[in-house]
Amino acid sequence: MPRDRDGAGQLERIARQLAEADARLLRLAASCTDRAWTSRPPSGGWSPSECVQHLVLSVDALLPRVDAALRDGRDGQVMGAGPFTPGLLGRVLLWAIEPPYRIRTRTGEAFEPAAARTPSDDVAALLARHAAAREQLVAAQDMALDRLTIVSPFAARVRYNLYVALALVPTHARRHLAGSPARRCASPTPDAVPLPTEHTAATSCCARRRATRAADAAHCGR
């Protein structure tokens, strides 16, 4: 994870990553026909529509917990300028879900996407969630984010701090928008920008176990 000199720089970086995820989403939608947007790859996995819906469901589960922790921190005057540390679990979690794919896990039923939707509906939904995440970044200014924690909405036995929770939103978006969904849209429009391809990285047995537990905490399947 890149290093910043203070907490403000870390939050600015997360905001930039959200903007990059929005731009990637818009390019992906522009490169897809309606049919490609809702079509699953022959080898299995989700369609672009399902990937975006999964991201929406994930943000919907995460942000209310972040809101509650920020309110508690503000009431308790848990203030700090950073830089914030993710902790060992948080560092492994963010590493595990960052593309390229390092490990695959199963997705919890609550975060399985429903029926496919239109590109415009999916895009509007995820853009709105990312806008809400940016509002939380503003609310998090001057808070000691590595001293405030939440229980993961994806794994009840896992806790991580608010810095990790906020960083998860754009990291998770990169995971699902940078790989197979992009390749499903095989007939890009002339101005579409190619997206990165998905690779598999070799890790040690121990690293794979840590990554599996971390990815389970972020329920990142497919």
| Mean pLDDT along residues 127-132 | 98
Which tokens in the block code for residue 155? 């794994």
Cis peptide before 83 (omega within 30 of 0): yes
Residue 203: both structure tokens together: 């890790």
Fold classification of 7-188+198-217 (topology level):
Four Helix Bundle (Hemerythrin (Met), subunit A) (1.20.120)
CB atoms within 10 A of CB 187: 9
Please tell me the predicted confidence (pLDDT) of residue 190.
28
pLDDT tens digits, one per residue of 107-124: 666 667 777 688 999 999
Give the chain's mean pLDDT: 80
Condensed to tens digits (0 to 9), the pLDDT of residues 164-217 reads 999 999 999 998 887 655 565 643 332 233 333 332 222 333 334 444 444 445
Query: Given this model, what pLDDT does residue 198 score?
Result: 31
* Helical segments of the chain, H only: 7-31, 34-37, 48-75, 87-97, 119-139, 162-177, 180-184, 205-217
- Per-residue pLDDT, 45: 81
**DSSP string covering 119-182, please?**
HHHHHHHHHHHHHHHHHHHHHTTTB-GGG-EEE-SS-TT-EEEHHHHHHHHHHHHHHHHSSHHH
- What is the rounded CA–CA span in Å between residue 191 and residue 172? 26
pLDDT of residue 195: 32
DSSP 3-state of 52 = helix
Given the structure tokens 């972040």, which residue do they identify?
66
Q: In this structure, how many other beta carbons lie within 10 angstroms of the beta carbon of residue 158?
A: 17
pLDDT at 186: 46
Q: Which range (42-56, 78-92, 150-164, 184-198) has the least confidence?
A: 184-198
**pLDDT score recorded for residue 200:** 28
The C-alpha angle 220, 12, 146, rounded to 5 degrees, equals 65
Q: Which residue has the tokens 């001057």?
A: 142
Q: What number is the average pLDDT over the span 143-166?
A: 93
Contact 166, 137 (CB under 8 A): yes
Predicted local confidence at residue 159, as pLDDT: 94
Instruction: Summarize pLDDT for 52-69 with one digit per residue, the tens.
Output: 999 999 999 999 999 999
Cβ atoms of 4 and 17 closer than 8 Å: no
